[in-house]
Structure 1
Amino acid sequence: MDQTQASTSPYRSLDDLCGGDPQMQELITRGKRLIDKGIPILILGETGTGKEYLSRALHAYSERRAANWVAVNCASIPESLAESELFGYCKGAFSGALPGGMKGKVQQAHRGTLFLDEIGDMPFSLQTRLLRVLSEREVVPLGAAQPVSIDIHLICATHQDLKILVAQGSFREDLYYRIAGGVLRLPALRTRADKQALIMQMIADEMAPLQVSERIIAPAALQQLLAYPWPGNLRQMHAVIRYCCAVMSGSRIETGDLPEELMQFHVPDGHRSGNVVQIQPRQSVSPIKDERSRVIDALNGSRWNISAASRQLGMCRASLYRKLRQLDIPHLRDQAMPAYAA
Structure 2
Amino acid sequence: MAHDSDPQVRQAFRRALLLMERGIAVLIQGETGTGKEVLARALHEHSRRHAAPMVALNCASIPETLIESELFGYSRGAFSGALPGGKKGKVAQADGGTLFLDEIGDMPFEQQTRLLRVIAEREITPLGAERSVPVNFALICATHQSLTHLVENGSFREDLFYRISTGVVQLPPLRERTDRAELVCAMVATELPGCDPRQVIAADVWPLLLGHSWPGNLRQMRAVIRYACAVKEGAQIQRCDLPADFLAQVRSQPSQPARSNVQNVTPIRQSKPTAAPVGEREDVLGVLTDCRWNMTAAARALGICRPSLYRVLRRLDIAPLKNQLALGTYAPS
TM-score, normalised via structure 1 length: 0.74
The residue identity in structure 2 corresponding to 1:48 is G
- Aligned partners of 2:26 and 2:167 also within 8 Å: yes
Opposite residue 285 of structure 1, the aligned amino acid is: V
Structure 1 position 245 matched with structure 2 position 245: no
Helix, strand or coil: the match of 1:96? coil
Distance in 1, matches of 2:206 and 2:109, equals 46
- Out of 249-258 and 148-157, give the one that drifted further: 249-258
- Structure 1 match to 2:138: 153
- Does the residue aligned with 1:220 lie in a helix, a strand or coil? coil
Which secondary structure does the structure 1 equivalent of 2:179 belong to?
helix
Partner of 2:51: 66
Show structure 1 runs of 5+ residues with no match.
Answer: 1-13, 288-310, 329-342
Answer yes or no: is 1:208 the counterpart of 2:198.
no
Q: Which residue of 2 is the match for residue 297 of structure 1? A: none
Sort the Cα spacing of 1:15 and 1:278 in 2 relative to 1 into closer, same or farther, 3 A.
Answer: same
- Does 1:280 pair with 2:279? no
- Report matched runs for 1:75-94 at 5 Å: 75-94=60-79
Alignment of 1:81-230 (within 5 A): 81-192=66-177, 194-210=178-194, 212-214=195-197, 215-230=199-214
What amino acid sits opposite 1:115 in the alignment?
F
Write the letter of the residue equivalent to 1:280.
Answer: T
2:182 and 2:246 map into 1 onto residues whose CA distance is: 19
Given that residues 88 and 141 in structure 1 are in contact (C-alpha distance below 8 angstroms), is that contact kept between their aligned partners in structure 2? yes
| d(CA) in 2 for partners of 1:74, 1:15 | 27
The structural deviation recorded for 1:257 is: 1.2
Once residues 216 and 268 of structure 1 are traced to their aligned partners in structure 2, the CA distance between those partners, rounded to angstroms, is 26
Residue range with higher mean Cα deviation, 241-250 or 77-86? 241-250
Deviations, residues 157-185 of structure 1 (Å, cap 9, x unaligned): 00111111111111111101111121110
Q: How many residues are treated as equivalent by the alignment? A: 280
Q: Are 2:233 and 1:234 equivalent residues in the alignment? A: no
Distance apart, 1:156 and its partner CA? 0.2
> Residues 183 and 230 from structure 1, CA distance in 2 versus in 1: closer, same or farther, beyond 3 angstroms?
same
Identity between Structure 1 and Structure 2 (%): 53
1:261 lines up with 2:245 in the alignment: yes
Are residues 272 and 110 of structure 1, via their aligned partners in 2, closer, same or farther at CA, if it must alter by over 3 Å? closer
Which residue in 2 is equivalent to 1:336?
none
Cα pair distance change 1:38/1:262, threshold 3 Å: same
5+ residue gaps, structure 2, are: 268-279, 287-304, 318-333
State the one-letter code of the partner of 1:55.
A
Question: How big is the shift at 1:313?
Answer: 5.5
For 1:138, give the aligned amino acid: E
Q: 1:277 to 1:22 in 2, by over 3 A?
A: closer
CA RMSD of aligned residues (A): 2.9
1:51 aligned residue: 36
For 2:207, give the aligned amino acid.
Q
Q: What is the alpha-carbon distance in structure 2 between the residues aligned to residue 269 and residue 153 of structure 1?
A: 41
Change (3 A) 1:275 1:313: closer
Counterpart check, 1:15 vs 2:14? no
The code of the aligned residue for 2:21 comes to D
TM-score, scaled to structure 2:
0.76
C-alpha distance in 1, partners of 2:258/2:164? 46
What is the rounded CA distance, in whole Å, between the counterparts of 2:43 and 2:308 in structure 1?
20
Counterpart-to-counterpart distance in 2, 1:32 and 1:272 = 34
Change (3 A) 1:276 1:64: closer
Structure 1 residues 183 and 91: CA distance shift in structure 2, 3 A: same
Question: Which shifted more, 169-178 or 225-234?
Answer: 225-234
Aligned CA distance change for structure 1 residues 166 and 247 (closer, same or farther; 3 Å): same
- Which amino acid in structure 2 is aligned with residue 226 of structure 1? L
Q: Which amino acid aligns with 2:11?
A: E
- Of the structure 1 ranges 243-252 and 91-100, higher mean CA displacement relative to structure 2 is found in 243-252
